[in-house]
Structure 1
Amino acid sequence: MSVKAVLHSEWTKIRSLPSLMIALLSGLVATTGVTALVSATHDGKESGADFDPVFFSFFGLNFGQIAAICFGVLAVANEYAGGGIRVWLAAVPRRGLYYGCKLAVVGLCALAVGLVTGFASLLGGQALLGEQGVGPGAPGALRAAVGCGIYLALLTVLSAGVAAVLRGPVGALGLLVPLVCFLSPVLGDGPATRFLPDRAGQQVLHATPEGPLGPWTGLGVLALWAAAAVWAGRLALGRRDA
């Protein structure tokens, strides 16, 4: 099969499986919905001098990123349910081609929805903040909206790579959700936590990033996490029987 045919088949699988479409779109709904609710009920009197209205617009991303993780995991783990992976590897014997096309389609879908999520959260959140809101031309605002899309795409690819290694949704979600969603708050602000996937990647959402990592270097750290997971997944796919 050609690259175009494999890409088309992967896209067909995503749009034809309700579980994948629900997981993909849930990130948009959760992020923008929670952001709108929190922004609408925010009391400006509670804000201090260090209040960052740009970062506040992405409050709901803490919930939306769980959907991105689920999408990445299910896109790969579903292949192993019932032995479906054997059928696809019979159709596409070149495992590297199959794996690369899957990650490309999954990542691009997450990027597209992530960009819509980023701009919707920014514009909606700032409008609901009232006098404390800033316009899209404020320092760091547009960068944060674009960075939100890249962050969700990299997180999805990271999740897909982990799922390729563990071959099951339970183990992959059991590892990724605590790592991305709970480890940073539990460990607090320290030298080690700054390089965790969520803490590093979310630096791009701040108008003025905190710590040693800048907005793009933080995304670079997340990209390294994703690259390591993709590499491990490729090794697992190549060395194990389907």
Structure 2
Amino acid sequence: MSTTAVLRSEWIKIKSVRASLGSLIAVFVATVAITVLAFAAVGTAEADNADFEPLFGAFYALNFGQIAAIAFGTTAMSSEYLNGALRISLCAVPRRGLFYGSKVAVVGALALGVGLLTSFAGFLAGQAFMGEYAIGLGHDGALRACVGGGIYLALMALLAAGLTMVLRSGVAVLSILIPFTLIVSFVVGDVASGVAQFLPDKAGQQVLHENPSGTLGPWAGLAVSAAWAAAALIAGWWAVRRRDA
């Protein structure tokens, strides 16, 4: 099969599996919906606080969007391990490098496209409720944060995708990554802030700050998240290449 045909087949798989397509849609819907609800209710209530950071606060709902991104990356890969689907896929595409590369490319491209749309839409939707405290894309670091936020969501999806191919279980990956991003990362941050800044979520979210604190800058933090995702994808490739279907 040609590369184009394999890429098309992977897109058909994703849009045919409800869990994968639903998770991808949820990245946008959950982020924008929570942004609107939160900013409509208490958008200006904390704007006068001394520690209020308008840019980072604008991406509050991205914490929920990243959960959907992780779910998308996980379900897009874990569907291969249901009912022997991987054996059928490898019969159709015996070249495992082409199979795995195409799968990762489609997952990454979809996550990036939806991530960028979500990041910009969430930012603009939230600012519509901020009145005199609203900031625009011309605000210092705002455009960088919107672009970086979309890339961050894509990297979290790819991290989950690679880890799924290693563990061969969507449930296991979700059981690890969701508690990690919601709980463990914050606990580590409280205990050892120097170490926490190199965790994939903490590092990647540096790009959302107007003035990032710590050792990592906005793009360096995103590069750390990219390194985590790359390591997971390489491990996933090793698992696909070495293990039996």
TM-score range, shorter chain: over 0.9
* Superposed counterparts of 1:1-242, under 5 Å: 1-42=1-42, 44=44, 46=46, 47-189=48-190, 190-242=193-245
Q: Kindly provide the amino acid, as one letter, of the partner of residue 144 in structure 1.
A: A
Aligned counterparts of 1:35 and 1:54: Cα–Cα separation in 2: 13
Normalization by structure 1: what TM-score?
A: 0.96
Aligned counterparts of 1:23 and 1:45: Cα–Cα separation in 2: 32
Aligned counterparts of 1:45 and 1:77: Cα–Cα separation in 2: 43
In structure 1, stretches of 5+ residues that fail to align are: none
For 1:41, what is the secondary structure of its paired residue? Answer: helix
Report the Cα offset of residue 48 of structure 1. Answer: 2.0
In structure 2, stretches of 5+ residues that fail to align are: none
Cα distance, 1:145–1:15 mapped onto 2, change above 3 Å: same
Q: Kindly provide the amino acid, as one letter, of the partner of residue 61 in structure 1.
A: L
Q: Which moved more, 1:37-46 or 1:10-19?
A: 37-46
Q: Kindly provide the amino acid, as one letter, of the partner of residue 50 in structure 1.
A: D
Aligned counterparts of 2:87 and 2:36: Cα–Cα separation in 1: 44
Report the Cα offset of residue 170 of structure 1. Answer: 1.1
Cα distance, 1:45–1:75 mapped onto 2, change above 3 Å: closer
Provide Cα deviations, 1:3-50, integer angstroms capped at 9, x if missing partner.
111101001111222221110010111111111111122264534233
Cα distance, 1:220–1:74 mapped onto 2, change above 3 Å: same
Is residue 209–residue 215 contact of structure 1 (8 Å, CA) maintained in 2?
yes
Is residue 53–residue 126 contact of structure 1 (8 Å, CA) maintained in 2?
no
Report the Cα offset of residue 174 of structure 1. Answer: 1.2
Cα distance, 1:99–1:175 mapped onto 2, change above 3 Å: same
Report the Cα offset of residue 172 of structure 1. Answer: 1.0
Is residue 42–residue 129 contact of structure 1 (8 Å, CA) maintained in 2?
no
Aligned counterparts of 1:43 and 1:91: Cα–Cα separation in 2: 52
> Identity, % of aligned pairs?
55
Q: Which moved more, 1:2-11 or 1:40-49?
A: 40-49
Aligned counterparts of 2:95 and 2:43: Cα–Cα separation in 1: 57
